Structure 1
Amino acid sequence: MITQLYTLWALFFGIALITIGNGLQGTILGVRGTMEGFSVGTLGFIMSSYYLGFLLGSFYVQKLILKVGHIRVFAAFASVASISILGHSLIFDPLSWGLFRLISGFSFAGIFVVAESWLNDQSQNEDRGKILSIYMAINHGGFLIGQLFLNLAHPGGFTHFILISILLSFALIPILVTASPFPSFNSYQPMSVSELYHNSPTALVGGICVGVAHGCVWGLGPVYAFKSGFDVYGVSIFMGVFLLGGFIFQWPIGMLSDKFDRRSVLFRVVWSAAIFALACSFFSETNSDLLLFLMFVFGGLSLPLYSLCIAHANDKLDRSQMVSGSSTMVLMYGCGALFGPLLGSLSMELFGRIGFFYQLTFVHIILGIFVFARIKKSAPVPLVEQEEFIPVPSTTSPMVSNLAPNATDESPESTNE
């Protein structure tokens, strides 16, 4: 394990810098766009463009890796992502920002596909869980630190855009000069949506609904906070407590789901998240400290839902199907996240900024009702047949499914560069 970590330090370091930059990018764009006078609907369109680019990139990058290799693809996409963020600071036009955001999503998809396939290639079966846990900690930690970086300068200038570009460019250095051997590429073939729904309707619908909710938070959370009177520090804390809650609650909720019927745990966590989202709407105008606490708990309940849905899907699938099923779950989450900012902005335009929490409450209630209906309709998976809960970052590509300890050699097809 120590030897593996030594060979992977450059990749982990690069991923850390990239997630810091990516975390900061979404927040600064929401704040700066609000300062520039962009409407909530316009910002919803801009933020959704990222997820459209991410979905497109997740499919296209596989072919590119097979043609030119991991190193060149990683360097190319990191460079394009670095350039696209600088474009936001040069042209303050909604259509241009939407295009730049689309390019960023496409580029980050390529970056994550390369990074995760590299980690998969360097991981032994007995260490996959540990590698995935480290990757998840870096992913969450990077996004959290990215929120704090918002405080380094006034959002009305160019400093944040330049800083993000520097982080993305600097992430290339240790990876390009590493002496590690080039990895093979494990391509993935997602399971069809109909097949996944046939095996696990709860997981499929859950992945979409959770994507809608999280896409709304990532895209419009900074917009809501800034419009509600939070200063720059307050916006960073607002987003940071959401992430921190998810990081802390992930493992306790996962342990409970391993010991009890997974759908029952999912049902209770979903409805609890809906209640706390609604509570946020009640106190958003009166007590900012209480709102931050409620947001912390809401993040703790909502962010683990994605991993719960994937674990439930795995409970219903054969081991040879888990990688393809998890890949489809990632894509369904991405489709939901694509519509999250659009639906969230519509709710905010109808109800004012408080519509941000109304949308989050509504989508969790919809999922809660669906889970309840499925519990009544079908029997639970026996506890002895449940797969182990594995925390999975939601801000990743379909390749992360290959890192799971229960991934087998039967699913992906390895192709050497």
Structure 2
Amino acid sequence: MTRPATFGSALRSSWALLLGFSILMLGDGLQGTLLAVRADQEGFSATITGLIMSSFYVGFLLGSIITPKITANVGHIRVFAALAALASASILVHAIFVQVPIWIALRFISGLCFAGLYIVAESWLNDRATNETRGKLLSLYMVVSYLGVGAGQLLLNLADPSEYLLFILTSVLISIAVVPLLLSAGSPPAFRESVNISLRDLFRLSPLGLVGIFAVGLVTATFFALGPVYGQRIGLDIKNISYFMAAAVVGTIILQGPLGALSDRYDRRIVLTIVSLLAALAAVICGSLSQNSNLMLFLSAALFGGFAFPLYSICLAYTNDHLDPSQMIAASGALVLISGLGAVLGPVLIASIMERYGTQTFFWSMGAVHGLIGVFALVRMVMRAPVPLDKQGPVSPSAAPHTGSVMEGVQQLAHDEAIDDELGE
């Protein structure tokens, strides 16, 4: 199909995709918080809850691997419809069987489905864009993702998590999300394969980038998996838990752009160091204020989210600064794996720390992780010369570790296409 030449025409051809994805993210944002709150209400320990929530990311890793192969065989439309149906059904089964092994299996299935849904939707959206419109279109997509996840937290207030209604609502949202995507005009995109790159080579090229991506994946997954449990255990009611979770997303929306712009203008390692230490400080403040004013807790959570979560995009950009263009598509798959491993480990590890040393260690542990990122960035500044500013690529805004790497690959695919066009002229 012919790609729209202007951003306006690209937006008109993509509104159904963006609408469908916003509805999907509403369901995604609601289901994570709902399950964490319900698990705590059922008396599950923080460790067990962390294990349940981590299984989502195990499924996500597998989904990231198998979705491209399945899509190449049966096509985008069938894959998206099948995965959405499975994800919609799995959330309903949570309400029927409140048992730890079943919830672990269901979260695994949900993670696998959402990995595929993200990959299909993002590659489809990219097919609607040109090199001139891709950056704006994907940035809008990220804003839609943030808003969907944030608004999904607030839906928790509509009913009691111990009842069926919120599970049904989540299922309905995921099911409805299919409609505008499947009715969008145009042919589905082709799916391109890429060559492999080893983790060893990637670590050799950018140790700070990989360590940072792993750490931010760990913290982000931990916050969204255990944040509702933390809020419930410090005495927040359902309404304030939803505000607490949404505050972190709002902070991310506000600071994502400015922090990315700073890292484009200055040595990324300096920005990484400062922002990591600010995230660590915000985490300490959150842990200290948890028993006091709710308003101060929400503000400090917004600061924590604003400094902590955008680090993922900066780490991705820093890693790409040290790669050849031919390596970046393959590297995106490895970055999904690295961030996914952190996401699997984080909730289980920090939940165990909370059980042993107390609820307040939730934020303190995440603060320690960000402090270590800042220290490691300082060490790398001593050991390695900076990348010249004119050689740095732009930061791609990323809503979450699992979507960020996909988008980096998508944007680099566009870069490779531009090179191919130039060589062909």
Please classify the TM superposition score into its range, dividing by the shorter chain length: over 0.9
Residues 1:215 and 2:221 aligned together: yes
> How has the CA–CA distance of structure 1 residues 252 and 178 changed in structure 2, closer, same or farther, with 3 Å as cutoff?
closer
| TM-score of the aligned structures, taking structure 2 as reference length | 0.94
Q: CA deviation at 1:261?
A: 0.9
Find 1:324's aligned residue among 325, 330, 342.
330
Q: Distance in 1 between matches of 2:290 and 2:91?
A: 31
Change (3 A) 1:103 1:231: same
Unaligned runs of 5+ in 1: none
**Cα 1:65/1:412, change in 2 over 3 Å:** farther
- The alpha carbon displacement at 1:399 in A equals 3.1
Is structure 2 residue 332 aligned with structure 1 residue 338? no
State the distance in 1 between where 2:194 and 2:39 align.
Answer: 37
Name the SS for the 2:415 alignment partner: coil
- Judge conservation of contact 2:34–2:156 (CA < 8 Å) in 1: yes
* Separation (CA, whole Å) in 2 of partners of 1:283 and 1:315: 39
Number of residues paired by the alignment?
413
Q: Runs in 1 of length 4+ with deviation above 4 angstroms?
A: 410-413
Equivalent residue for 1:403?
A: 410
Counterpart of 2:263? 257
TM-score in terms of structure 1 length: 0.95
Q: 1:382 to 1:176 in 2, by over 3 A?
A: closer
Q: Displacement, 1:178?
A: 2.9
Amino acid in structure 1 at the alignment position of 2:279: A
Matched residue of 1:251: which SS?
helix
The residue number in structure 2 matching 1:62 is 68
Name the residue aligned to 1:92: 98
Q: Where in structure 2 are the equivalents of 1:10-409 lying within 5 Å?
A: 10-189=16-195, 191-394=197-400, 395-396=402-403, 398-404=405-411, 407-409=414-416
What is the aligned partner in structure 1 of residue 3 from structure 2? none
Q: 1:77-108 deviations in whole A, cap 9, x for unaligned?
A: 00000000001000000111111000000000
CA shift for structure 1 position 397: 6.7
Mapped to 1, the partners of 2:320 and 2:32 lie a distance apart of: 31
Instruction: Say if 1:54 and 1:109, in contact at 8 Å, map to a contact too.
Output: yes
Aligned to 2:4: none
Cα-to-partner distance string for 1:248-282 (whole Å, 9 max, x where unaligned): 00111111111111101100100111111112111
- Does the 8 Å contact 1:249/1:300 carry over to 2? yes
Asked if structure 2 preserves the Cα contact closer than 8 Å seen for 1:188 and 1:399, the reply is no
**CA shift at 1:189, angstroms?**
4.5
What amino acid maps onto 1:396 in structure 2? T
The Cα of 1:407 is off from its aligned counterpart by 4.1
Q: How has the CA–CA distance of structure 1 residues 80 and 145 changed in structure 2, closer, same or farther, with 3 Å as cutoff?
A: same
Runs of 5+ consecutive residues of structure 2 not aligned to the other structure: 1-6, 421-425
Report the AA paired with residue 133 of structure 2: D
After TM superposition, give the deviation of residue 398 of structure 1 in Å. 4.3
1:332 aligned counterpart, secondary structure: helix
CA apart distance, 1:355: 1.5
Cα shift readout 1:157-196 (whole Å, capped 9, x = no counterpart): 1111000110111111222233321211133455321111
Q: CA deviation at 1:288?
A: 2.2
Separation (CA, whole Å) in 1 of partners of 2:398 and 2:47: 31
In 2, Cα distance between the equivalents of 1:206 and 1:298? 16
